[in-house]
Amino acid sequence: MPKPKTYTKKTDLEKPWNKKKKASQYEVVNLEGQSKLKLVECAEEMVRGDGYDEVWCIFDMDVNIGEVEFQAFDNAIHKALSLSFKVAYSNDAFELWFYLHYNYTDTTQRRYFYYDQLSKLWSINYVDEGKRYSFCTGIYDKLKKDHRASQQTAIESARKLFLDQQDKPFHEQNPVTTVYQLVKTLNQCSESEG
């Protein structure tokens, strides 16, 4: 298994979730398609000995191969929680979070449903453009400026989906995204600085 590449970047003081008064350093790990459990293990290594207020692991299910994948998804979440990390997981796709800014669904969908819907909403080819790093860094602003989108609606919808399914094994919670928990935390940090 190749070693993950680690990049060090400066925080962007313009982003609302940056609660620091001056720029600081943070690490972004590119796992190049390695497992979700590897993400958790890398986070564990990165925080060892350092004083972090919170550690978040963020990933989605990527339903492709079945039972082995389901077990890996559940195990990664259990491992992160056992380390007192917080997890923002989505099943099947992270894009559910974006979709919930516009519409509610409690029907299990595969990622291509969300790709198609976001392509229509944003007048782009999401598969080609939406996965680009340069596009991804602008999604927060895109949603904030779009009068049709509502972060509060997305939070409420995601919370409802989670509460309705929280007693199921993680891989059976579909559709679900706990990204709303991370967003609420970021919003609270922004408000306390404002």
- pLDDT tens digits, one per residue of 6-15: 444 445 555 5
- pLDDT-based confidence at 1, cuts 50/70/90? very low
Cβ neighbours for 162, distance < 8 A, ≥ 6 positions apart: 173, 176, 177, 178, 180
Q: Kindly report the pTM of this predicted structure.
A: 0.84
- pLDDT-based confidence at 63, cuts 50/70/90? confident
Query: Which residues form the domain of 30?
Result: 5-193
- For residue 23, pLDDT over 60 is answered with no
| Number of separate domains in the chain | 1
- For residue 25, pLDDT over 80 is answered with no
- For residue 129, pLDDT over 50 is answered with yes
Spatial distance between the Cα atoms of 99 and 33, rounded to a whole number of angstroms: 24
Strand segments (E) across 31-113: 56-60, 86-91
If one counts every other C-beta atom within 10 angstroms of the C-beta of residue 40, the result is 24
Of 36, 56, 45, nearest in space to 6 by CA: 45
